[in-house]
Structure 1
Amino acid sequence: STPSSSSVATEWLKGKSVDECLKIKNTDIAAHLKLPPVKLHCSMLAEDAIKAAISDYKRKQTASS
């Protein structure tokens, strides 16, 4: 379920702005994949990865300017 959650998140990120990407929530991913409650942590990992990547991107943008 984690690879599926990450794959969905990756597809949804393509072509979106940073602000749009931050609107992607684990609940949206879980609903799309129809994840059972015991697998919700997989969609949470995907959301956490999005937030971490954006945080890293913003930090690097600030450092280079």
Structure 2
Amino acid sequence: MTSVWVCEQLDPTGMVHACIASCNEEQARDCLKSFQENLDDRQKAEGWVARLRTVDSWEDVPVTPLKLSR
């Protein structure tokens, strides 16, 4: 089974504002870097975060993501 890499940008309440999912780890890490760089100082101070994690299948992705494929 192939893991699905999930990159999310969350507000301080834990609400997902952006989600990109891919079976390609390199693409997912690039997305994480972009998500982190796009948080401004105010958002960071308020507690916004970008995170990367894996899930076992597309059904385990918590929201409808933009799906990246090679």
TM-score band, normalised by shorter chain: 0.3 to 0.5
Q: Larger radius of gyration, structure 1 or 2?
A: 1
Higher helix share: 1
More strand by share: 2
